[in-house]
Amino acid sequence: MATVRRYADADREAVGALFVRINRELAPPHLKEAFESYIARSLVEEIERIPAYYGERRGSFWVAAEESEVVGMFGLERPDRATVELRRMYVDARARRGGVGRQMLDFAENVARGDGCRLMVLSTSELQPAAICLYRSSGYRLVREEVGAEQTNKTVGAGIRRFYFEKNL
């Protein structure tokens, strides 16, 4: 079982490497260039400035570690007092299918409840079917789908279908 703890400055390199590695794994061959652009943008706007980025959004960032190795991560943003958005939940390929994703999701929900949130929202893409299964099996309900047209630090765009879920806490 991994240990879930708050992000520390010492995690910066490992978190950045995990983010890049997973997004390169997800990139379909015909979208490699779009993903590289998304990775570069997200590193500058978010990943390389996690304390400031999540602080500006009244949120927090967490890592899952096995021994001293970061094997997972997620962020929480607060769009309003009652809602929290789960972001950047990734598990390293070597740690998948071992319960780390579910452990981080349960941990995130407990943090959100402790902060007085009543609703957790999240989005994922068609490129992450295991994540979709995890969220559905954890009681999240699909509230909408859309095809991403524009790139932001939250989505590659490029015509990828995104699924938006929520769960009452």
- Could you tell me if 124 and 162 are in contact, meaning their C-beta atoms sit under 8 angstroms apart? yes
Token pair 């989505």: residue: 155
Please state the pTM of the whole predicted model: 0.91
Q: pLDDT category, 164, cuts 50, 70, 90?
A: very high
Q: Which of 20, 29, 19 is closest to 158 using CA atoms?
A: 29
Per-residue pLDDT at 151 exceeds 60: no
Strand partners, 119: 83, 168
Q: What is the pLDDT of residue 1?
A: 84
Tokens of 82: 């009652």
The distance of Cα 26 from the centroid of its chain, to the nearest Å, equals: 13
> Mind listing the domains of the chain with CATH numbers?
3-119 (3.40.630.30)
Q: What is the pLDDT of residue 113?
A: 97
Q: Which of 154, 123, 127 is closest to 140 using CA atoms?
A: 123
Q: What average pLDDT does the segment 109-120 reach?
A: 97
